[in-house]
Amino acid sequence: MTISHHRISVSDAALHVAVIMDGNGRWASARGYPRVAGHKEGAAAVRRTVEAAPKTGVGTLTLYAFSSDNWKRPAREVAALMRLFRKHLASETPKLVENGVRLTIIGRRDRLAQSLQASISAAEDATRRGKRLHLRVAIDYSARDLLVQAASRCDPQALPDRETFAALLGSAYGDVGPARDVDLLIRTGGEHRLSDFLLWECAYAELCFLECMWPEFGEVHLREAVEWFHGRQRRYGGLVTAAAG
Ligand code: FPP
């Protein structure tokens, strides 16, 4: 990348930042609220982060909203999360269009309610032309399941190269195609795990673990994490080439 520390250039705008939005439940419990209140406040943090992303040099933002393992949560919490996704898809879509944000959902769709699938398609269609930010929201997502799915579609006679395999990964569930590698992965909530998120795409990601709970996250946290990223040296297994000039 050809950027100085202080001036964000066009090439910098292509950063792919992925976020594991953890800590909604603990944020709510610490205040004596039900867990669902934490998810609602988490949705407000999603809005702040999406608004801040293009200003911070982020071109692709992938958010982990619901993992395939999250189906194991109590039915009431799952239902509340699904309601929240549907509600926000409907209410935020006009704002996304206005702000040049393209929204796509990654993950399995076949286990989602028909009404949610319809809201997803409508939001994806409406935002199709967004160029300022590609917002990818992972719902019913498991990187391992996706890897198995893509592997099962490989030709056993001719194993694919990395690029071809990435394309298989990107299209396994009818998604729009492979995303570029993740540059920076942020996880809030104090845990230091990947939790089956973007295992292939994070091969060379810088990992940033924050103590704050997701509902507390905002523009300042994103900006600080991106600045920290630019201070890292990325070597990709070789010798020194600086991420920032
Ligand atoms: C993890 O916190 C968070 C989730 C499983 C849900 C993420 C959902 C949102 C932020 C809501 C809205 C999203 C969109 C895209 C509108 P946790 O419940 O595991 O927290 P805990 O570790 O404190 O229990």
Active site residue 22: yes
Q: Is the CB of 107 under 6 A from ligand 1?
A: no
Active site residue 161: no
Q: What is the pTM of this model?
A: 0.90
Amino acid identity, residue 141? Y
pLDDT in tens, the chain (245 residues): 333 333 333 344 489 999 999 999 999 999 999 999 999 999 999 999 999 999 999 999 999 999 999 999 999 999 999 999 999 999 999 999 999 999 999 999 999 999 999 999 999 999 999 999 999 999 999 999 999 999 998 888 988 999 999 988 888 776 667 778 999 999 999 999 999 999 999 999 999 999 999 999 999 999 999 999 998 876 677 776 555 44
Rounded CA-CA distance 37/29 in Å is 9
Pairing of β 184-187 and β 206-209 = parallel
Rounded to the nearest angstrom, the distance between the alpha carbon of 103 and the centre of ligand 1 is 19
Nearest 5°: CA angle at 213, between 211 and 217? Answer: 100
Relative to the CA of 29, which ligand 1 atom is closest? 23
Relative to the CA of 88, which ligand 1 atom is closest? 16
Please list, residue by residue across 83-111, b when 16 or more beta carbons sit within 10 angstroms of its beta carbon and e when fewer do.
ebbbebbeebbeebbebebbbbbbbbbee
For residue 156, the model assigns a pLDDT of 86
Rounded CA-CA distance 87/89 in Å is 6
Which protein residue's CA is at the shortest distance from atom 3 of ligand 1?
22
